[in-house]
Amino acid sequence: MNGAGNLMDFLDEPFPDVATYEDFHTIDWLREKSRDTDRHRKITSKSKESLWELIKSLLDAWSGWVVMLLIGLLSGSLAGVIDLAVDWMTDLKEGVCLSAFWYSHEQCCWTSNQTTFADRDKCPEWKKWAELMTGSAEGAGAYVLNYFLYTLWALFFSFLAVSLVRVFAPYACGSGIPEIKTILSGFIIRGYLGKWTLLIKTVTLVLAVSSGLSLGKEGPLVHVACCCGNLFCSLFSKYSKNEGKRREVLSAAAAAGVSVAFGAPIGGVLFSLEEVSYYFPLKTLWRSFFAALVAAFTLRSINPFGNSRLVLFYVEYHTPWYMAELLPFILLGVFGGLWGALFIRANIAWCRRRKTTLLGKYPVIEVLVVTGLTALLAYPNPYTRRSTSQLISELFNDCGALESSQLCDYINSNNTTRPVDDIPDRPAGPGVYAALWQLTLALAFKILITIFTFGMKIPSGLFIPSMAVGAIAGRIVGIAVEQMAYHHHDWIIFRSWCRPGADCVTPGLYAMVGAAACLGGVTRMTVSLVVIMFELTGGLEYIVPLMAAAVTSKWVADAFGKEGIYESHIQLNGYPYLDVRDEFTHRTLAADVMRPRRSDPPLAVLTQDSTTVEDVEALIKDTDYNGFPVVVSRESERLIGFVQRRDLTLAIKSARQKQDGVVSSSVVYFTEDAPLLPASNPQPLKLRRILNLSPFTVTDHTPMETVVDIFRKLGLRQCLVTRSGRLLGIITKKDVLRHMAQMMNQDPESIMFN
């Protein structure tokens, strides 16, 4: 009995240093939550004992805010560094700054004194490669040399990126958002948010974006921010030892990631809430907001865009929009929805092919081929040669007096073209017509190449390419409407709001609406999308156009398939993700889903007082279940509790080593008292301490929709099925997901993990 008593003490804190979940397994939210409450209770009761304990309890209470602050600071700084490095390396493909090679084109010419504002991107210090190497800046030879070096740099960057990812951190590829969604829903992927991933993803993200591929840094920044969150979790045992609490921090980190990606803190919080997070208590909302703000302001103080603005694409429009313009906006929404549906189908088909064919075996070659193609096709067109975010920024801009863009080449009242004065009513000049053609080509190119780029083994975000597609389409439509209004002031649709001489149409706004529509079509974000766009413009005025386009785009895209790109990739990878948005409307019952099925062998159970250590060990060896129900006896099958496989293994192992008299024929007792046996007999092994006495049960008549709801809302790992108190079977999260897949006529075997 003494030995058993010791074991009791030992089991009081059951195996604290062993990670509780295995890799690629699902966590039990309820259990995590109750463990945290226990911890909290312990600290609160201890805090009354001494001043030191009180201070410790206060530190514990504030640690959440400290983690948020650190996440904000680090992710803001990383975003700033990434922005600066991308700027520099993107320009490095074209030339170099002689006064200081680490300056980007823009910085180089800022510091030069010889430039006027109009020629602000031309200065003697900035040399194109051809000029530097051959001395001549013009001519076909120089063009070809620049073209060649541009492609070479691009190939070099992307080769470096894909090699680093392959060698050091395979998890650093892709946008990371599907995996983060899965992790936040309660799945374990060890190393996905580790230090190596953080480091390599940051470096390779810079390389990938600089290589000119059709990808963005916004999605990967969310991954980077989540890695920061995970890193700082390890500083506090409150977060590092509790998978549930850790996920609260990660949700906030995701918000900080979007906040620095777009300079939109509120949009970031809503993105985390709407798109990424699973369990989002109000406390997390508030902390996310704090992290997002700190991140945004850290970024602002680094000031990578050189304009003291928080936002990536700062725009200011001077004219309102008119009701009649809703028609083109809705058309842009339809376009965005169609693009979203097309993109998801094509990209998933291509990614499936990559997974199943030889293609997947040669990721480096794939990346090099795509980069080469991108560089070769992109260079001749000025709109694809520059970085995608510069392109979007130019497309969003309204034409002002100081704008030197080709898109602003309007004929002004003096019949000279540029600089445009502020006279609003204007026919397009030759530059605008040239730009229209180039933009159409750029649109076709972006649409095609993005399908093949997203999903390659390098960090790649989807926000920027999607927005670029929409912005190009939007600007084209915008210019078309503008010119129509100029030339046909007398048409009924224009007469009421667009008199001659009035500035009625802002093509930049169309670009923004188009960008929102395309992004919405691909990701199916709704409120957060509109809020991000709203933060970019800072004006409530344009919410209705954005909203109209976003709704239309979602409806159109939903008609072709309910899943957004992230959900599609989750499905493709077979992660056990229980989407809160899927409504389960079938008429099945728990009895139809539970295992064992009719033809299966009976459920593997333990009895409370008649199983021997040997039996238990055999059961553990023969099965791979995560846990076993414990019943009164095999005859009555009345459920008394549930025991985790892991706890059972460890308890038996340690009892065999440390407890006298526990041998293979010892009986395992889950009851409150074990019989007193003479010392000569094998001593009983008392395991009530590891028995979960409150396992979750439903009856066999419970409709599956209720079961799905319970799994979702309580974050269960498994649930036992009973009828009149008799144990009938068990339903795991995997069973639920497989059943849902089956009901939707999908392959249930696509759900691969526990």
Residue 48 found at the interface with its own copies (CB under 8 A):
no
3-state secondary structure 697-725: EEECCCEHHHHHHHHHHHCCCEEEEEECC
CB nearer its own copies, residue 111 or residue 706? 706
Span from 28-36, 47-55, 109-117, 118-126 in contact with its own copies (CB under 8 A): 28-36
CB 532 within 8 A of CB 429: no
CB of 523 to its own copies, least distance (A): 13
From its phi and psi, is residue 122 left (phi > 0), alpha (psi between -120 and 50) or beta? beta
202-241 residues in contact with its own copies (CB under 8 A) are none
- Both tokens assigned to 288: 């996310």
Residue 593 found at the interface with its own copies (CB under 8 A):
no
Residue 709 found at the interface with its own copies (CB under 8 A):
yes
Dist CA 751 CA 573 (whole Å): 8
The residue within the footprint of its own copies, chosen from 112, 697, 732, 754 (CB under 8 A), is 697
Dist CA 59 CA 55 (whole Å): 6
Exposure string (b/e) for 487-525, b if CB count within 10 Å is 16 or more? eebeeeebeebbeeeeebbbbbbbbbbbbbbbbbbbbbb
CB of 600 to its own copies, least distance (A): 23
* Amino acid symbol at 660: D
293-332 residues in contact with its own copies (CB under 8 A) are 293, 297, 310-311
Binding mask 630-649 for its own copies (x = CB under 8 A): --x-----xxx---------
CB of 529 to its own copies, least distance (A): 11
Residue 714 found at the interface with its own copies (CB under 8 A):
yes
The residue within the footprint of its own copies, chosen from 539, 610, 649, 658 (CB under 8 A), is 539
Residue 334 found at the interface with its own copies (CB under 8 A):
no
The residue written with tokens 């210090």 in the block is 125
Terminal-to-terminal C-alpha distance of the chain: 39
CB of 710 to its own copies, least distance (A): 7
- Both tokens assigned to 403: 């704008």
* Amino acid symbol at 478: G
Span from 157-165, 510-518, 617-625, 692-700 in contact with its own copies (CB under 8 A): 692-700
Dist CA 559 CA 391 (whole Å): 31
From its phi and psi, is residue 416 left (phi > 0), alpha (psi between -120 and 50) or beta? beta
User: What stretch of H or E contains 286?
Assistant: helix 282-302
Q: 212 φ, ψ to 5°? A: 85, 5
CB of 318 to its own copies, least distance (A): 15
CB nearer its own copies, residue 596 or residue 725? 725
Total of residues contacting its own copies (CB under 8 A):
66
How far lies 670's CA from each of 15, 239, 356, 627, 630, in Å? 19, 32, 48, 15, 8
Among 494, 461, 375, 457, residue whose Cα is nearest residue 94: 375
Span from 49-57, 262-270, 352-360, 403-411 in contact with its own copies (CB under 8 A): 262-270
Helix 243-262 vs helix 177-184: angle between axes, to the nearest 10 degrees?
Answer: 150
CB of 536 to its own copies, least distance (A): 10
Span from 32-40, 182-190, 399-407, 677-685 in contact with its own copies (CB under 8 A): 32-40
CB nearer its own copies, residue 242 or residue 702? 702
CB nearer its own copies, residue 62 or residue 437? 62
Strand-by-strand arrangement of the 697-699 sheet = 697-699, 718-723, 726-732
CB nearer its own copies, residue 224 or residue 269? 269
The residue within the footprint of its own copies, chosen from 318, 352, 355, 581 (CB under 8 A), is 581
Helix 243-262 vs helix 218-233: angle between axes, to the nearest 10 degrees?
Answer: 140
CB of 140 to its own copies, least distance (A): 48
CB of 531 to its own copies, least distance (A): 6
Span from 219-227, 342-350, 720-728, 740-748 in contact with its own copies (CB under 8 A): 720-728
- Both tokens assigned to 316: 């200011």
CB nearer its own copies, residue 227 or residue 516? 516
User: What does 20-34 look like in DSSP terms, one character per residue?
Assistant: SS-TT-B--HHHHHH
CB nearer its own copies, residue 122 or residue 701? 701
CB of 713 to its own copies, least distance (A): 4
Binding region for its own copies (CB under 8 A):
30, 33-34, 37, 40-41, 44, 263, 265-266, 269, 274, 281-283, 285-286, 289-290, 293, 297, 310-311, 526-527, 530-531, 534-535, 538-540, 543-544, 547, 551, 580-581, 583, 585, 587, 590, 632, 638-640, 693-695, 697-699, 701-703, 705-706, 709-710, 713-714, 722-726
